[in-house]
Amino acid sequence: MAHATQDTAIRTGRAVRMLIYLVLILFALFYMLPLYVMLVNSVKPLEEITGGGMMNLPQLWTLEPWAKAWSSAQIGVEPTGLSPYFWNSIKMVVPAVAISTILGALNGYVLTKWRFRGDTILFGLMLFACFIPFQIVLIPMARMLGLMGLAGTTWGLVLVHVVYGIGFTTLYFRNYYAVFPTELVRAAQIDGAGFFQIFWRILLPSSGPIAVVSIIWQFTNIWNDFLFGASFAGADSQPMTVALNNLVQASHGVKEYNVHFAGAILAALPTLLVYIVAGRYFVRGLMAGSVKG
Amino acid sequence: MGFLDIDNTTKSYGAVEVLHNVDISIEEGEFLVLVGPSGCGKSTLLNMIAGLEEISSGEIRIKDRVMNGVHPSKRNIAMVFQSYALYPNMTVGQNITFGLEMHGTPKPEREKAMKEVASLLQIEQLLDRKPGALSGGQRQRVAMGRALVRDPDVFLFDEPLSNLDAKLRVDMRTEIKKLHQKLGTTIVYVTHDQIEAMTLSTRIAVMNGGYVQQLGTPQDIYDTPANIFVATFMGSPAMNVVPARVAVENGKPMARVALHDGTETALPFSQGNMEGWDGKDILLGIRPETITDEDAADRKSSNIAHMTNRIVVTEPAGSDTFVTMTMGGKDVIARMRSDAEVHPGADFTFAVNMEKAVAFDPATEARIAP
Ligand SMILES: Nc1ncnc2c1ncn2[C@@H]1O[C@H](COP(=O)(O)OP(=O)(O)O)[C@@H](O)[C@H]1O
Ligand SMILES: [Mg+2]
């Protein structure tokens, strides 16, 4: 691998390369700047921020803003901190990601290995769902959730995100399974494996890379969603994003920037974590369909 | 009723019929090869036997049991695929026993069956490996092991050797033949390679364009091809087919063929009924190995004809030398001994074994004689 990279890299002079690295490092620093600002200001007392010097390192290091953001800051009318909303988000994201990924995998399996009349049209329609703007479905969706008795509940949000996610997850898995050899499915059929056994024993074990793609994609989208959360959640099912907004937008009292920064990082942490843990596989999975091993 | 009956079976995709009224019946222990050019419907027919494709009309029976609509796993068949289709996430051992597991065989029996098959195919040391870590030949063996372990009524092979390199292909061919002789299993084997078909089969079905052109033993197919397609598809180099005219001289039917300079030579027919063809045009089929020099002519043949013709090209191939000449305006290839004294541009007297010659009707391309 290292050899290949060296051989195929464009040969450049030393000075040019230094310059390129310098520029890249500068870009990287610039790009990291907001994170730096958030981090340093989240561990400062409020006076140090309001006294100017947003870029300075804290004189007095404190985790107080983090603790406050997590457990005692005023969110709306209750001084609960973000923690209950964090768990709301988890309770929404985990089932939504799991269900949409599993359904996407099943759809991809059926659309490629159990072809039927009109399957391409059906797939086209599912893809179409990826391009429907969120705003258009708000009112019909609210009505549907009301009819189903899911209005204002976590499960209502799960349903919304699953419905919206299926188009993407189906696309991922369909394209992945399209290059999965059909002869394997036929061999398994002759061996006596049924519909779900083939899926479970033959396809899924080989689906790691694309499952990671689907999970990361769904996790980030659902975790970061604000519109559906703000529109459909009840008081006790509001996700982290909505709570963060309420924290920052609170109209009374002083603006506690250090707490806001800590809260924002808390809200971003899970997606960050998912990328760090699975990011490598993300790229590999995206490549898997196009490049045959 | 045979062991496997394919009875007036048709396959259509929508309005397109890709297999037309196929009729094949084989006995237990036979090795049937379906051979034909790519796209002729071999795999489709095999998949219909396997139950992977529906039968549009007609019937397929195994041991007198009608298979139409029966699930592949309930037909007691096993199949070896062109790509081997080994489950990539399972070890070799798991690959071999997966079918038994799905059929509810208890674990101790599965292990026992796996060990037997592994020792038969000499893959014991591979049992814990994943397919990705095997060579082509090893994968081929594992794929066969997976089929063998089921002890099925019928084995189905779809071009199992076409992904191997030439040397390994020949070795595995022998191996498969040995296995068949040892186990006496009933096999249906698909290939586009006529040499594989000739060497392996007890019977061959030559297919083209969705029709079975001829069903017979390798010898039948080679010596008395039903039509020009079969004649030229089977055998390498292909049978020479040259325009000729039938002329009865002294009560004996002769084939009059133009040589390189337009003069005609008369080659006497040996057998078969050429009655009614006097004066008519036919196509004469002569296999390359039946045109030789005098010394190499088949001594058992009762009908060696001689003709002197100009040699155009010689191609020494080690064991044989291929000689090209012109007959009836076509290139004709003769397969000579490597030490035959042949030179391009020279005239040479060839011995033609007319006992083996075949006559075809130019209109229908069907065989007239023998
Ligand atoms: N699913 C399908 N739909 C339409 N036509 C098909 C399908 N599968 C095969 N065919 C056609 O049937 C013919 C026979 O195919 P196949 O049995 O695969 O040929 P072979 O194995 O002899 O190369 C081909 O002309 C092919 O185009
Ligand atoms: Mg084929």
Q: Is residue A56 in a domain?
A: yes
B139 C-beta closer than 6 A to ligand 1: no
Q: Is residue A75 in a domain?
A: no
How close does chain A come to B67, measured CA to CA in Å?
14
Mutation site for A-interface testing, chosen from B47, B48, B79, B142 by largest number of A Cβ within 10 Å: B79
Residue A4 has pLDDT above 50, yes or no: no
Pair (A183, A49) in one structural domain: no
* Three-state secondary structure call for residue B308: strand
**Range(s) of the domain holding residue A38:** 2-65
CA of B192 to the centre of ligand 1 (A): 14
Which range (A273-282, B28-37, B234-243) has the least confidence?
Answer: A273-282
For the entire predicted model, the pTM comes to 0.82
Ramachandran area for residue A285 (φ above 0: left; ψ -120 to 50: alpha; else beta): alpha
Contact A162/A145 with Cβ under 8 angstroms? no
Report the mean per-residue pLDDT for chain B: 93
CB contact under 8 A, B73 and A190: yes
Q: Is residue A234 in a domain?
A: yes
Which alpha helices (H) appear in chain B, and where do they start and end?
42-50, 92-102, 107-121, 136-148, 166-183, 194-200, 218-223, 228-233
Biggest distance spanned by C-alpha atoms of chain A: 75
Tell me the ligand closest to B38's alpha carbon: 1
Pair (A220, A282) in one structural domain: yes
* pLDDT, position A3: 47
Strand partners, B323: B314, B334
Report the mean per-residue pLDDT for chain A: 87
B263 C-beta closer than 6 A to ligand 1: no
Pair (A53, A109) in one structural domain: no
CB contact under 8 A, B82 and A183: yes
- Give residue-wise pLDDT tens across range A106-163: 999 999 999 889 999 999 998 888 888 888 889 999 999 999 998 889 999 999 999 9
Pair (A21, A149) in one structural domain: no
Pair (A130, A56) in one structural domain: no
Share of chain B above pLDDT 90, in %: 81
* pLDDT, position A2: 43
Amino acid symbol at B238: A
CB contact under 8 A, B73 and A189: yes
* Three-state secondary structure call for residue B89: coil
B44 C-beta closer than 6 A to ligand 1: yes
Domain total in chain A: 2
- Give residue-wise pLDDT tens across range B225-284: 999 999 999 998 999 999 999 998 888 899 999 999 989 999 999 866 788 888 999 999
* pLDDT, position B270: 84
CB contact under 8 A, A202 and B87: yes
Residue B13 touches chain A, beta carbons under 8 Å: no
Pair (A56, A178) in one structural domain: no
Among B17, B18, B33, which residue has the most ligand 1 atoms within 8 Å of its CB, making it the best to mutate?
B18
Pair (A41, A120) in one structural domain: no
Distances (CA, A) of B214 to B189, B195, B207, B366, B368: 16, 16, 7, 11, 15
Read off φ and ψ for residue A278, nearest 5 degrees. -115, 0
Amino acid symbol at B302: S
Residue A82 has pLDDT above 70, yes or no: yes
Amino acid symbol at B162: S
B82 C-beta closer than 6 A to ligand 1: no
CB contact under 8 A, B98 and A188: yes
Cα distance between residue B132 and residue B121, in whole Å: 19
CB contact under 8 A, A187 and B81: yes
Angle at B242 between CA B240 and CA B245, to 5 degrees: 145
Domain termination site, one of A14, A33, A65: A65
How close does chain A come to B159, measured CA to CA in Å?
13
B191 C-beta closer than 6 A to ligand 1: no
Q: Is residue A78 in a domain?
A: no
Mutation site for B-interface testing, chosen from A191, A199, A203 by largest number of B Cβ within 10 Å: A191
How close does chain B come to A106, measured CA to CA in Å?
19
The CATH number linked to A145 is 1.10.3720.10
Q: Which residues surround ligand 2, an ion (CB under 5 A)?
A: B 43
Pair (A110, A233) in one structural domain: yes
Pair (A49, A187) in one structural domain: no
ipTM: 0.82
* Three-state secondary structure call for residue A178: helix
B98 interaction partners in chain A (CB closer than 8 Å): 188, 191, 193, 201
Pair (A20, A88) in one structural domain: no
Pair (A198, A161) in one structural domain: yes
Residue A292 has pLDDT above 50, yes or no: no
Domains detected in chain B: 4-233 (3.40.50.300), 240-369 (2.40.50.140)
Q: Which two tokens stand for residue B100?
A: 């038994």
Pair (A158, A55) in one structural domain: no
Q: Residue B90 has what DSSP assignment?
A: S
